[in-house]
Structure 1
Amino acid sequence: MLLHQAANPLTAARAGLQLAMESIGRWVDLAADRRLMLLDDLGEVLEDIDRTTELLRAVREHGTTRGAAPAGRPERFDAVRVIRSCLTLERRLLRDRGIDLDFTTALEAKYLKGDPNALFDLLVNLVRNAAEAGGEAPSPVLVQLDLKGRELELTVRGRGSAANLEKLRGVAETTFGGTVTVESALATGTKFTIALPLPPQREAEHRT
């Protein structure tokens, strides 16, 4: 049921985005370079929607997003883009429950080596853990992505608990050589911190 609730708005969003791109393409009073820049940005959003739709399809068919890609050697992928794609989906789902999701980062592109679907799964679980208030009034889920030395540090804050923590730690450690730590306090809730070591970044990729 939850997957269908997510897929239907994504389908509608994709259709609306395509119409917007067609309209922008016909704007003769918009500078050509500006029009191309807008279309390029919207094209990236369209790709994120397609990726999320494919991941949801894999969950329905295989029970895990790992079914969306064949097993093989680890691939190099833009972690920031995967995180944004995941949070786009989760923000919509949480909004339907009256919960805000705020994401802050100054990073544009940082590349990891491993399974992008595993990172997607990991973040989905942490966000949903953070959102479970256990009967309390809904409170925002806060997500922040930073570069700390040679690691990506992703923090997720909310009122939820650390459910399935060992499983999530196993994914971070086995797939990315990273760590997941948890801090809990009655007054401030739960803070999850994911630290993922970065491989050497190619010159063309190195943007912050």
Structure 2
Amino acid sequence: MYWIHPDFPDASQSFSNCLASMLRQYNKKNRPLVFVCIGTPSILGDCLGPVIGSILSVVPASGNSVPADIYGTLDAPVHALNFQDTCREIKKRHQKPFIIAIDAALGNSTQSGYVLLKKGPLHPGKGVGKKLPPIGHLQITGVFQDIFAPAAGHQMARFSRCISQGILKLYPALQCPKQSDLIDVFQIPANGNTAGNPADLDSGRFD
């Protein structure tokens, strides 16, 4: 398990190093990667997954995508209403993939502001009382204290830059976008739609 603050120096490189280490440890058979980026574009905090999915699908300044299957983008989000259909589609289309689940998470004031990289499935919606099946062999979450707070959009942007750049560093053939290249991705609505599913966070963190 790794906790990384996006404001740390070289945060994206640290994130990339940690992710590469976990992939070597837990994906020893080099199974094909599938990224499932969960959330709704309608809430600034909860759109973390779709923003990252969009960046990985069409890398700014290169026009290419990562050599992995991506589920969940700003145009085609994966949220509570279609989550189980997406799980069935993944099971149908892929033979023993290695799934990396990405979502927003709710945590306390000490945990808020950190990116969590952890082995094991993510439980989307548990933090808001939704019963959805767990997903993923690894989980990546950006931890918010409140996804509706005015600062959530700022926090989401820092999370998404750290995570997306960290993932892209795994693929040297892709040019990692500069911070300025990602600005347009964050021009998203901020209405009160509550269809999203922020993941729950283990209350034992930092104990």
TM-score range, shorter chain: under 0.3
Structure number with greater Rg is 1
Higher strand share: 1
TM-score (norm 2): 0.28
